[in-house]
Amino acid sequence: MTVALYPGTFDPVTNGHLDLIERGSRLFEKLLVLVAENPKKEHVFTAKERVALIRAEVSGIANVTVEAWKGLTVDFVRERGFDAILRGVRTTTDFNLEFQMALTNRSMAPDVETVFVAPNHKWSYLSSSLIREVALSGGDVTPFVPEGVARALAAKLGR
């Protein structure tokens, strides 16, 4: 059985993330979406809220689960025995960073492969930070995130 991990902060989860989750669910027998708690980032949603938002969106995909984790992704991979790490790559800048992380992870967990997937072209420009900026400025994020996420953002930001 091929089991993969899709890690990220997902603050908030976007339609691009969900597209990658759906496609990853077809590539792997099991896919775990790992919500990272990154102390270097200022989050809009808590890890618990992000997990709940993602679970609501992927509830219809039988082989996808969602958890939160605080620590190195590679430690989680080793503890749980994953075969692969799924990563979305939008730009060459993303690729450079992701490639560096993949090689570092490989040095720490040689049996784990990193699989890079290009985004659907209609979401290739999206990022959570862009969505946060639009939301904080009072803009409409509904074309970029699921309805439930848009409502949660509005409630969280007092809009």
Dihedral of CA atoms 137, 6, 40, 148 in degrees, nearest 10, equals 30
Catalytic residue selected from 90, 106, 127, 156: 90
Confirm whether 142 is domain-assigned. no
Structural domain for 23, as ranges? 3-124
Confirm whether 130 is domain-assigned. no
- Least-confidence region, from 39-43, 70-74, 101-105: 39-43
β-pair partners for 95: none
Catalytic residue selected from 41, 48, 80, 122: 41
Give how many domains the chain has, as a whole number: 1
Q: Which of 69, 31, 67, 63 is nearest to 52 (CA)?
A: 67
Confirm whether 157 is domain-assigned. no
On the question of a cis peptide bond just before residue 146, with omega within 30 degrees of 0, the verdict is no
Confirm whether 15 is domain-assigned. yes
pTM: 0.93
- Compute the distance between CA of residue 28 and CA of residue 3 in angstroms, rounded to an integer: 6
Q: What are 83's two structure tokens?
A: 């075969």
- Res. 66: pLDDT tops 90: yes
129 among known catalytic residues? no
User: Which phi and psi angles does 82 have, rounded to 5°?
Assistant: -75, 155
CA neighbours closer than 13 Å in the CB half-sphere of residue 125:
3
Confirm whether 137 is domain-assigned. no
Confirm whether 143 is domain-assigned. no
CATH code for the domain of 65: 3.40.50.620
- Res. 67: pLDDT tops 80: yes
Catalytic residue selected from 25, 50, 87, 128: 128
Confirm whether 114 is domain-assigned. yes
41 among known catalytic residues? yes
pLDDT category of residue 158 using cuts at 50, 70 and 90: confident
When pLDDT is averaged across residues 48-72 and rounded to a whole number, the result is 97
- Res. 39: pLDDT tops 90: no
CA neighbours closer than 13 Å in the CB half-sphere of residue 97:
7
17 among known catalytic residues? yes
Confirm whether 119 is domain-assigned. yes
